[in-house]
A and B are shown apart, each in its own frame.
Chain A
Amino acid sequence: AQSVTQLDSQVPVFEEAPVELRCNYSSSVSVYLFWYVQYPNQGLQLLLKYLSGSTLVKGINGFEAEFNKSQTSFHLRKPSVHISDTAEYFCAVLDPQGAQKLVFGQGTRLTINP
């Protein structure tokens, strides 16, 4: 069975500060990992994904994440955040077999303070 744990439910940071949102996963099959972002009152959109290859993946809006197999982690980072990054962020693991179901973490609410 697959599972995802997001270690922080809320992360407040000041504008232009760096941020890291933590994600740990458990999977018995090939690991396909995703970060989705949900802006207020909207649906989810894909931020970035790791399927294979380079363990450092870059996404939209200056975000990047690093896949660490030994630590079973996929932490999301941004070197300098903006007010517009205020959103909820979800880490997810996908089972590529069958219906490609996603298993989501609990979500991390990122709040940017001026």
Chain B
Amino acid sequence: NAGVTQTPKFRVLKTGQSMTLLCAQDMNHEYMYWYRQDPGMGLRLIHYSVGEGTTAKGEVPDGYNVSRLKKQNFLLGLESAAPSQTSVYFCASSFDVPRKNSYEQYFGPGTRLTVT
């Protein structure tokens, strides 16, 4: 099992450019999440999905869109990148019904995005 993978690992964008970050999981998880990590602020939830075809806003959704067309994939889009979106982005996934009372979220390795 590869677990949770993210593509790309690094990216530099100019202000106004667009891009899509891909998250894939092979654990048959129902729930998927996108976080951003900024120094001194921990991880903040951008958007999440409770199943194929569903998405919902998290704590900091502005400037981002998401799609979950397939159960195993969760895409995060930036339509018009801004310097404030410079961050490290993490994807995570989990079961909807906790296995062995776990509630664990499994994280990808992250994507480091710089917007100049």
Contact = CB atoms under 8 A, between A and B. Distances in A.
Interface of A: 4, 6, 9, 32, 34, 36, 42-46, 49, 51, 90, 94, 96, 98-107
A106 B103 contact: no
Contacts of B41: 106
A49 B104 contact: yes
B105 interface: yes
Given A99-B48, A99-B56, A43 B110 contact: yes
Interface residues of B, number: 28
Given A43-B108, A99-B48, A51 B42 contact: no
B103 A32 contact: yes
Contact of A105 (B42, B101, B109): B42
B43 A104 contact: yes
B40 A43 contact: no
